[in-house]
Chain A
Amino acid sequence: MKNEKFGDALDHIDYSFIEEYVEEKERLQKENRRKRLLKTAAPLAATFIVFFTVLGIVLGGNTVPLPSAPGDDFTGSMSYENIYVFEYGGKRYCAAFMNLSFNFGDKYLGDELGEIEATDNKGNTSSHKIFSSSLDTVDKEVFIEINGNYYPAYKSNKK
């Protein structure tokens, strides 16, 4: 009976509290979805960057301009359209311009470092902005802007 009394009273809770509850619930759900997404995406992005770092180090050791893109023996949904090689701060970097359906780098951009001339694997030169990385997981790497998208560039082991 005590419960029923409380139940009856709760039926008449002020409507504004329900509006506030519904609004807060939506906010919390959105926030939790975002957290879950970040939890999934962060390791994926880190794996992705590590993979291309290793690939960049390997490819960066080749002569410039680089040989044709290694898309032939690459399986999966990505393919290289170009490899860009440039120098910054006395170091040589290599960036793979990938045919991806999403803009990979813009979330991880740090400060704009300047503009550089890069040579692609066909010998063409063009100017591009470069940025530092805001990711803690990647040390001393930079991002290069190519056609409005941002790609990680990796230090070449060739001096």
Chain B
Amino acid sequence: MGLLERLRPPLDDGAIIELYFARDERAIDETDKKYHKYLFTVSYNILGIKEDSDECINDTYALTWSKIPPERPSSLKAFITVIIRNISINKRRTQGRQKREQDSFEQSFEELEGLIGEVMVERELEASRLSGAINGFLETLDKRKRYIFISRYYMGESIDRIAQELSLSRSSVNKEIAAIKDELKAALEKEGYKI
């Protein structure tokens, strides 16, 4: 890539999506140019291993290429966020417990430990019911709390990172997270979960 090409501002998402629809491989270059750093951060938060995160980025581009068309996402960034998050999570699950360079994702899950009692039902069915309850709970949160919940538990972002983004102290974020957990606990109990 020449210097001028590197200096050119990235295309807007609409133009990139049109490239996907035209089956023009520049779509992937443009996605990479605009979102590589972001995608790496998302994947690295989950996997904590640089090489694996790079691999997930390539898989994300391949999957995005196969999904658009026919899909036409209203937000390309949200679309690839879900893809790389799921690819990275699946990779993490297949790897099991492995030593990672950082592991804010595991820490985020440990925070939720104890919220769900051992309900002996078929796993898929249980996940579907639980996700319905979580979606219902998220609806009740205000935008800021929802942002914190998604950042911490869906994206596995560190407390420090969330505090920095929201211009808050670490302890303020911890307090908000504790309040969210209390609300989640109450919501799940209402749905019949044993806490």
Also in contact, A5 and B123, with CB within 8 A (given A24-B147, A29-B165): yes
Binds B, one of A12-20, A49-57, A96-104, A105-113: A12-20
Residues facing B in A4-41 (CB within 8 A) are 4-15, 17-26, 28-29, 32, 35
Do B131 and A13 have beta carbons less than 8 Å apart? Answer: yes
Report B-chain residues with C-beta under 8 Å of the C-beta of A5: 116, 123, 126-127, 130
Q: List 29 A-B contacts (CB under 8 A).
A: A1-B118, A3-B112, A5-B127, A5-B130, A6-B116, A8-B130, A8-B131, A9-B127, A9-B128, A12-B131, A12-B135, A13-B134, A13-B135, A13-B138, A14-B135, A14-B138, A17-B146, A19-B78, A20-B143, A21-B151, A21-B155, A22-B75, A22-B77, A22-B78, A22-B81, A25-B165, A32-B164, A32-B165, A32-B167
Do A2 and B116 have beta carbons less than 8 Å apart? Answer: yes
Report A-chain residues with C-beta under 8 Å of the C-beta of B15: none
A24 to B143 Cα, complex, angstroms: 9
Do B89 and A11 have beta carbons less than 8 Å apart? Answer: yes
Do B130 and A9 have beta carbons less than 8 Å apart? Answer: yes
CB-CB nearest in chain B for A5: B116
Do A28 and B150 have beta carbons less than 8 Å apart? Answer: no
Interface residues on chain B, size class: 35 or more
A15 to B143 Cα, complex, angstroms: 15
A1 to chain B, nearest CB (A): 8
Also in contact, A11 and B126, with CB within 8 A (given A19-B75, A23-B75): no
Report A-chain residues with C-beta under 8 Å of the C-beta of B126: 5, 8
Report A-chain residues with C-beta under 8 Å of the C-beta of B166: 28
Also in contact, A28 and B74, with CB within 8 A (given A2-B118, A6-B116): no
Do A6 and B143 have beta carbons less than 8 Å apart? Answer: no
Identify which of A4, A6, A28 contacts B115 (C-beta below 8 A). Answer: A6
Report A-chain residues with C-beta under 8 Å of the C-beta of B75: 19, 22-23
Residues facing A in B121-165 (CB within 8 A) are 123-124, 126-128, 130-131, 133-135, 138, 143, 146-147, 150-151, 153-155, 164-165
Do B89 and A7 have beta carbons less than 8 Å apart? Answer: yes
Report A-chain residues with C-beta under 8 Å of the C-beta of B138: 13-14, 17
Do B116 and A12 have beta carbons less than 8 Å apart? Answer: no
A19 to B74 Cα, complex, angstroms: 9
Report A-chain residues with C-beta under 8 Å of the C-beta of B2: none
Report, nearest first, the 8 A-B pairs whose CB atoms are least far apart: A8-B127, A12-B131, A9-B130, A9-B131, A19-B78, A21-B150, A3-B109, A22-B78
Report A-chain residues with C-beta under 8 Å of the C-beta of B74: 19
| 0/1 string, B49-90, CB within 8 A of A gives 1 | 000000000000000000000000011011001100010010
| 0/1 string, A96-140, CB within 8 A of B gives 1 | 000000000000000000000000000000000000000000000
